[in-house]
Structure 1
């Protein structure tokens, strides 16, 4: 059994995609986009590229502040991108959706004596508010957020304050769990930790990323962690 579990939040425990789709859909409709599916696909691709740049070390604020300008521009509509970014962040603050079974999974880890740590990329105020609103805060011993840490996964420096807080952590007793091959699995590799790829959507893997394990449910994840 692992002593420490560092767990990603978005699309690992919190249903970020559901809240994202609802928020972006509302913004698209409010600004005259009738082909919502095309609009969503356009935003998702631009946002994915932006977060890839952030994970490579780019300054997050200017990139995030112009993502809606870029997305709506690609759809042929001029908007106040900064105003939409503020509106969208307010929506995210109230995205309390969790993946089915997440709370029970965390409760079982806690009951078994595992030290559960959140390790997430994102904006500090939004992530903390979503944790509180989803009633998952109580399950975590600590929460580490990239905006606060100063580095995003997969940068190994994201894990530096975690290791400092928990000096008995080691490759043998600690595992990183997440849905993202790039940020979570590569991040674990860079930090010399075992990793578990949480892949309930059965996304195709890549030879560029080598998780220690792959699971598609909280049941399988719990069995693996507590074995």
Structure 2
């Protein structure tokens, strides 16, 4: 492989966000006196959150608005008299305490000593920094770039331009974007004119017109010692 810089998404690419969310959300409900809140409201929350994150990608809402709006809708749906702003702030804080790596991630990075490595995430800056700092990946990345600090988000090309400028990248053919989201990571990489690798552990069918350069089902397949499968 001819790449020099590997850009990684974070959630559901390197970190198991299902576990992260479960613990952070449960702890937040506990703090608000609802020890069964996770079991009672998680399904509704996840449905709302999915819509809200799509709104973020499409530019219909800001990250700061997302932080509160998802809980405002949840509490409205279940007629809960909770402060959505305070809940959202504590939830982000609790996210920062959760670092659950996906299987094979540590071993994969051990084989990438000769590459420049960076994170490109749409998540909240403080939470993402804290999660990486609390994980075995704490000294792995040259840069951690979050949408909150740039004013742009994947799939906008501007966040990639910011990244290229920050890291001094002039040859885009030497950059690979790796992530689990077709609409965010892969479309973003395409918009920026770089190759992409879709991390698809569940073997989801690609029903979009978005075509990644590569597709892998596990981190064992992400090897520069042998050819990955092109799409």
Assess same fold via TM > 0.5: yes
CA distance in 1, matches of 2:169, 2:156: 21
Q: Is the 8 A contact 2:92 2:124 kept in 1?
A: no
Alpha-carbon distance in structure 2 between the residues aligned to 1:203 and 1:39: 26
Structure 1 residue 67: Cα displacement: 1.5
Contact 1:107 1:139 in 2 (8 A): no
Cα distance in 1 for partners of 2:167, 2:36 equals: 51
* Counterpart in the other structure of 2:71: 68
CA distance in structure 2 between the partners assigned to 1:115 and 1:12 by the alignment? 18
Give 1:172 deviation, angstroms: 2.5
1:1-227 to structure 2, matched below 5 A, reads 1=1, 2-27=3-28, 39-57=41-59, 58-110=61-113, 113-223=114-224
The superposition leaves residues 129-171 of structure 1 with CA deviations (integer Å, 9 ceiling, x where unpaired) of 1110013131112111111111000001010122113444434
Q: 3-state SS of the aligned residue for 2:103?
A: coil
Quick check: 1:28–1:39 contact (8 Å CA) kept in 2?
no
- Secondary structure of the residue that 1:138 maps to in structure 2? coil
Contact 1:195 1:212 in 2 (8 A): yes
Q: Deviations over 1:92-130 (max 9, x none)?
A: 0101111122122112112xx111111111111111111
> Taking structure 1 as reference, are residues 142 and 164 closer, same or farther at Cα in structure 2, changes over 3 Å only?
same
Contact 1:120–1:144 (Cα < 8 Å) also in 2: yes
More helix by share: 1
Segments of structure 2 that go 5 or more residues without pairing to the other structure are none
Are 1:33 and 1:39, in contact at CA under 8 Å, matched by a contact in 2? no
| Aligned counterparts of 1:87 and 1:131: Cα–Cα separation in 2 | 18
Q: Report how far residue 204 of structure 1 moved.
A: 2.5
Say whether the 8 Å CA contact 1:16–1:95 is kept in structure 2.
Answer: no
User: SS of 1:143's equivalent?
Assistant: strand
Q: Find the aligned partners of 2:79 and 2:178 in 1 and give their Cα distance.
A: 39
**1:225 CA drift (Å):** 7.7
Count of residue pairs brought into register by the alignment: 225
Root mean square deviation of aligned Cα: 2.3
In 1, the alpha carbon distance for the partners of 2:226 and 2:130 equals: 28
CA deviation after TM superposition for structure 1 residue 69, in Å: 1.9
Structure-2 separation of matches of 1:188 and 1:165: 16
Deviates more, 1:215-224 or 1:173-182: 215-224
CA distance in 1, matches of 2:187, 2:207: 11
